[in-house]
């Protein structure tokens, strides 16, 4: 359990870093850590998972990844952001949010602020049907 929720992101990815800078402007108290600098075992998660999706570690210690992590971040903000977080968690919209998250994650190297570190090898990109793992 942690005193504040923790947002863990890919610190080598320019797009991810810019996205986290936007998240810092939200009305929420949280710790933000690059996975490269985090003790992932203490958060009960793995490097493999942190490489492939943003993570939200709730105060309870529960780990959320990808679109669910973004929804939890929003749900922990002051109004009106929790409404968007709850909507992203609704059954049909959750599927849409997960699809959008995977699309962005798979193409983050093409987005503004991206660096060469943003491009995962094809076999490690989110959404691959032959890849086993948390996504």
- Please tell me the predicted confidence (pLDDT) of residue 135: 36
For 39-72, what is each residue's pLDDT tens digit?
A: 999 999 999 999 989 999 999 999 999 999 999 9
Mean pLDDT over each residue of the chain, to the nearest integer: 85
Give the pair of three-digit tokens for residue 4: 């504040």
Give the pair of three-digit tokens for residue 93: 């919209």
Domain assignments of the chain as residue spans, ordered by start: 6-117
Residues 6+ away with beta carbon under 8 Å from 49: 55, 63, 65, 133, 134
* Residue 129 CB-half CA count within 13 A: 0
**C-alpha–C-alpha distance, residues 62 and 16, integer Å:** 22
- Please tell me the predicted confidence (pLDDT) of residue 28: 95
Average pLDDT over residues 100-125: 70
Strand intervals (E) in 1-135: 6-9, 31-34, 55-57, 63-65
Residue with tokens 């962005």: 104
**C-alpha–C-alpha distance, residues 66 and 99, integer Å:** 10
Task: Grade residue 13 by pLDDT with cuts at 50, 70 and 90.
Answer: confident
- The dihedral over CA atoms of 120, 123, 124, 129, expressed in degrees to the nearest 10, equals 130
Task: Grade residue 131 by pLDDT with cuts at 50, 70 and 90.
Answer: very low
- Please tell me the predicted confidence (pLDDT) of residue 119: 59
- Please tell me the predicted confidence (pLDDT) of residue 6: 97
Name which of 113, 91, 121 is nearest 9 in CA terms: 113
Average pLDDT over residues 85-104: 94
Give the three-class secondary structure for 113.
coil
């Amino acid at each position: 359990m942690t005193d504040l929720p923790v947002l863990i992101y890919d610190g080598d990815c320019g797009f991810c870093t810019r996205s986290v800078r936007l998240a810092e402007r939200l009305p929420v108290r949280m710790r933000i850590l690059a996975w490269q600098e985090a003790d992932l075992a203490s958060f009960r998660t793995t490097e493999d998972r942190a490489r492939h999706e943003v993570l939200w570690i709730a105060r309870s210690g529960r780990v959320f990844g990808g679109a669910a992590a973004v929804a939890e971040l929003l749900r922990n903000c002051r109004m009106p952001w929790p409404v968007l977080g709850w909507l992203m968690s609704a059954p049909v919209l959750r599927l849409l949010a997960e699809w959008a998250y995977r699309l962005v994650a798979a193409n983050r190297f093409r987005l503004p602020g991206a660096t060469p570190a943003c491009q995962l090898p094809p076999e490690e990109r989110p959404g691959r049907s032959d890849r086993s793992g948390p996504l």
